[in-house]
Chains A and B, each alone.
Chain A
Amino acid sequence: MENKNYRVSNVSVGMGGSIIVVILVVLCLTVFSVLSFSTAYSDLKLAEKTEEMTSDFYKVSGKAEEKLADIYNVLRLADENMKDTDTPEVFYNNAALRLAEIDDVSIINNNNGSFKAYYETFGDKNQKICVTLNIMYDELTHRPCYEIETWNLAAIKLPDYEQQNIDLWEGFD
């Protein structure tokens, strides 16, 4: 027959001990679940913010393309009104006058009689696209053409760093 030797320990869980353990475990798990959710949520917010900025960029780019189409349409109209005997200077003068009628398009005259057109298109998320076009007249084909000189994405409003300068040696008041 097997001889059993029982040793009685003084360790006692006691009344309410198991509930305390359960509450502690639940508390730990709750903290972990909330932490993991907040990390995932901040990742999602960052991805959504990026999406908003990207979507706005392509919208602004679309607006810039639309204005480019308007400008080219005006150049075509200026070209259609030209006579065969007219010189390119007549085209430049005519086109510059017509382009000045389009909103937000400014004309920069070159020394050789040709000109540049500059415009900006604005987005909702503090970004704009600045475009400079080199307007030319091809005397061989007798057609107007343009060259995109700049197509830059920039911020509409830059942060004012001057006011945020803190003299480290002086510290805060």
Chain B
Amino acid sequence: MKNRISINSEVSLVEIIMSILIFAIAGTVMLNCFGAAKFTQIKANDKVEAGNKVQSVAEMIKSFDTSIEADEYLTEHFKLLKTDGKEKKYVNYYDKYWNLCTDGDEEENTEYFITVKTSDVFTDSGELREFVITLEKIKPYPFISTNEKSCNLYEVETKKFFSTAGR
């Protein structure tokens, strides 16, 4: 023998349809809001991580006494993408966990990339070099990015004077 409780409901079909309609309309708006919140937070976290990477490279470059040391560091830790006269462009690729991509899995796993552009300003009494360090995300963030091919996360521009005299 089973005891069952029957609720005396007076819910009409129209009311149920109305409820579903309200929930569907509000749901689409809320889903967008939750999506935007999620990817905004991811972008904020990425910006912090990108800042660490970019500043780390900038501080390394600033710490060198000669341009040869700087060149050695860049050639050792980055891939030379192109050389155009006095301009050089180095690049490094990272996966979604910010691990450095190895040669084989660059195309599949690359999520972010850092570029270091160096150019000589003048070389009268030593070398004054300009460095532009940029960190970008390959795919734009859903919900928050509009019509962008890639997303620029962090950019730093600085100069360094490598003199022939001591510092």
Contact = CB atoms under 8 A, between A and B. Distances in A.
Contacts of A10: 8
Contacts of A29: 26, 30
B128 interface: yes
Nearest to B40: A40
A157 interface: no
Contacts of B8: 8-12
Interface string B1-12: 111111111111
B158 A62 contact: yes
Contacts, number: 174
B41 A43 contact: yes
Contact of B1 (A3, A11, A36, A143): A3
Interface in B1-55: 1-12, 15-16, 18-19, 22-23, 26-27, 29-30, 33-34, 36-38, 40-41, 43-45, 47-48, 51, 54-55
Interface stretch (B68-76, B92-100, B109-117, B149-157): B149-157
Interface in B107-141: 121-122, 124-126, 128, 130
Interface residues of A, number: 60
A61 B10 contact: no
A146 B19 CA distance: 78
B5 A13 contact: no
Contacts of B36: 37, 40
Nearest to A58: B158
Given A47-B51, A51-B154, A147-B167, A76 B44 contact: no
B4 A33 contact: no
Nearest to B31: A33
Contacts of B41: 36, 39-40, 43-44
Contact of A9 (B7, B16, B44): B7
Interface in A59-101: 59, 61-63, 65-66, 68-69, 72-73, 75-76
B80 interface: no
A3 B4 CA distance: 12
Contacts of B23: 22, 25-26
A-B interface, 5 closest residue pairs, ranked by CB to CB distance from nearest: A62-B159, A47-B47, A33-B33, A40-B41, A40-B40
18 contacts: A7-B3, A19-B15, A22-B19, A25-B23, A26-B30, A39-B41, A40-B41, A44-B47, A46-B44, A55-B156, A62-B159, A62-B160, A66-B121, A72-B165, A76-B124, A146-B166, A147-B166, A148-B167
